[in-house]
């Protein structure tokens, strides 16, 4: 049996952030907790959403205490802010970090189970109750696709592990994709988040499982990345390119309901142990993972290569990575041989590689890190 669904209402278009208030009010909601981070606030990205909520007569309170890789403490603080404001719903404005935090803050409003028990790697999503308050997502990066995804990722205190909480009940009610909100992204963030989108599409397409819709969407997402990522990096105000990358990010997350792969298992400990940005961590490991998977799914890898305009997928991905300005390997982020054994152990514990087309041992994961140094 397979289950395929694409349930989120997605509003797309430059300037469409002005519809936010209407969308929230349409659900009969009045009190809103807006979740963002310091960078989002500093870049003035809260102005338009707050104005729109105000115009629709909604009562908003803003919580910006979200870290780059959200922590359990961030979620607890956000849940307190939610209760204090007597909020009825959450609006996330920002990249994957505030969007994931927003979903988990909404979850905390109705479920106090420890996150260890909600962990996707033990199918903890089954404990997510049906009455999670409505979440609205306003992405300001183009990468994670968390705006339409069914997971929230946080670093759990007791294990120090980046942990995925996965349930369709965490899906946003409405996502508003306004390319104007992404033009302030610096080049490095554009490149790294774009590589997260590409990695979602590639890993979903290569992953085990039967999901023809996800496969087609993943291929469409790869095509968009090829067309628009470099353009968005080189011309930050090019709204067509920014919009193209927002679509690619959204499609990547829809596609990875099929599954991800070894690259995400390698990336997660790089963030929790060394603080690397998630998209950058993926970008640094993706070529080695594609090379590793080529023998298992050669036709699919070939198809990815063709969409990226090359006969060799590894070369195509490495080439794009260099062109967008990601040049150094893991060593450039301070990772050395001495860090790899612990990272490999943590990567093995991560659930994403279970749907990798070629099974991975701890030794394989270690070699993949080594090849990415």
Q: Which residues bind Fe ion (CB under 5 A)?
A: 196
Mark out the alpha helices in the chain (DSSP H runs). 20-25, 38-42, 47-55, 72-84, 96-108, 115-118, 187-206, 212-234, 239-255, 262-274, 278-293, 298-307, 313-323, 340-349, 362-372
Q: Which of 71, 144, 167, 294 binds ligand NAD (CB under 6 A)?
A: 144
Comparison of 37 and 215: residue with beta carbon closer to ligand NAD: 37
Near ligand NAD by CB under 6 A: residue from 71, 146, 163, 372: 146
**Positions 99 through 128 that interact with ligand NAD (CB under 6 A):** 100
Least Å distance, CB 41 to ligand NAD, is 8
Interface residue with ligand NAD, options 182, 190, 207, 318 (CB under 6 A)? 182
- Tokens standing for 43? 């870049």
What single-letter DSSP state applies at residue 155?
Answer: E
Question: Contact, 112 vs 175, CB < 8 A?
Answer: no
- Strands 135-139 and 89-94, sheet pairing: parallel
> Residue 78 binds what, of Fe ion, ligand NAD, none (CB under 5 to 8 Å, by partner type)?
none
CB closer to ligand NAD, 139 vs 294: 139
Pick one of 149, 244, 287, 357: the residue that binds ligand NAD (CB under 6 A): 149
Q: Which 39-78 positions form the footprint of ligand NAD (CB under 6 A)?
A: 39-40, 43, 45, 68-70
How far apart are alpha carbons 193 and 219 in whole angstroms? Answer: 18
Give the residue carrying structure tokens 């609205």.
136
Residue of 21, 65, 94, 357 that binds ligand NAD (CB under 6 A): 94
95 binds, among ligand NAD, Fe ion, none (CB under 5 to 8 A by kind): ligand NAD
Estimate the crossing angle of helix 278-293 against helix 362-372, to 10 degrees: 110
Query: Cα dihedral angle (286, 287, 290, 291), rounded to 10 degrees?
Result: -150
Partner from Fe ion, ligand NAD, none binding residue 344, C-beta < 5-8 Å depending on class: none
355 belongs to the binding site for ligand NAD (CB under 6 A): no
CA-CA distance, 51 to 73, in Å (whole number)?
29
318 binds, among ligand NAD, Fe ion, none (CB under 5 to 8 A by kind): none
Q: Of 92, 185, 286, 320, which lies in the binding site for ligand NAD, with binding defined by CB under 6 A? A: 185
The one segment of 16-24, 115-123, 188-196, 339-347 that binds ligand NAD by CB under 6 A: 188-196
* 68 interacts with, out of Fe ion, ligand NAD, none, CB within 5 to 8 A per kind: ligand NAD
For every residue of 218-262, DSSP letters joined together read: HHHHHHHHHHHHHHHHH-TT-HHHHHHHHHHHHHHHHHTTS---H
Under rule CB under 6 A, how many of the chain's residues touch ligand NAD?
32
Residue 62, phi then psi, degrees to nearest 5: -105, 135
> Which chain residues interact with ligand NAD by CB under 6 A?
37, 39-40, 43, 45, 68-70, 94-97, 100, 140-141, 143-144, 146, 149, 151-153, 181-182, 184-185, 189, 193, 196, 253, 278-279
């Amino acid at each position: 049996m397979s289950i395929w669904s694409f349930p989120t209402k997605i509003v797309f278009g430059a300037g469409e952030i002005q519809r936010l208030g209407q969308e929230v009010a349409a659900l009969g909601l009045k009190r809103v907790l807006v979740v963002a981070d310091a960078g989002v606030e500093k870049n003035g990205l809260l102005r338009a959403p707050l104005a729109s909520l105000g115009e629709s007569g909604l009562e908003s309170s803003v919580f910006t205490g979200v870290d780059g890789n959200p922590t359990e403490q961030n979620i607890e603080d956000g849940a307190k802010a939610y209760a204090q404001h007597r909020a009825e719903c959450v609006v996330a404005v920002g990249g994957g970090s505030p969007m994931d935090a927003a979903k988990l803050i909404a979850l905390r409003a109705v479920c106090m189970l420890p996150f260890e028990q909600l962990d996707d790697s033990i199918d903890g999503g089954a404990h997510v109750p049906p009455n999670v308050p409505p979440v609205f997502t306003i992405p300001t990066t183009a990468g994670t696709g968390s705006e339409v995804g069914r997971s929230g990722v946080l670093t759990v205190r007791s294990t120090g592990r980046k942990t995925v909480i996965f349930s369709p009940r965490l899906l946003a009610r409405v996502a508003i994709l306004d390319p104007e909100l992404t033009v302030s992204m610096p080049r490095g963030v554009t490149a790294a988040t774009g590589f997260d989108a590409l990695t979602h599409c590639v890993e979903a397409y290569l992953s085990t499982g039967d999901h023809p819709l996800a496969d087609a969407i993943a291929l469409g997402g790869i095509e968009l990345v090829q067309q628009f990522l470099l353009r968005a990096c080189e011309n930050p105000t090019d709204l067509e390119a920014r919009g193209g990358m927002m679509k690619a990010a959204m499609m990547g997350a829809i596609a990875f309901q099929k599954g991800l792969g070894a690259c995400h298992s390698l990336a997660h400990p790089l963030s929790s142990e060394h603080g690397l940005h998630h998209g950058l961590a993926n970008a640094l490991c993706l070529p080695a993972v594609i090379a590793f998977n080529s023998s298992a799914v050669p036709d699919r890898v070939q198809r990815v290569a063709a969409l990226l305009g090359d006969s060799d997928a590894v070369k195509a991905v490495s080439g794009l990575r260099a062109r967008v300005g990601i040049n150094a390997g893991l060593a450039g982020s301070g990772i050395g041989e001495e860090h790899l054994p612990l990272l490999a152990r943590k990567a093995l514990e991560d659930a994403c590689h279970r749907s990798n087309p070629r099974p991975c041992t701890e030794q394989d994961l270690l070699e993949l890190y080594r090849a990415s140094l």
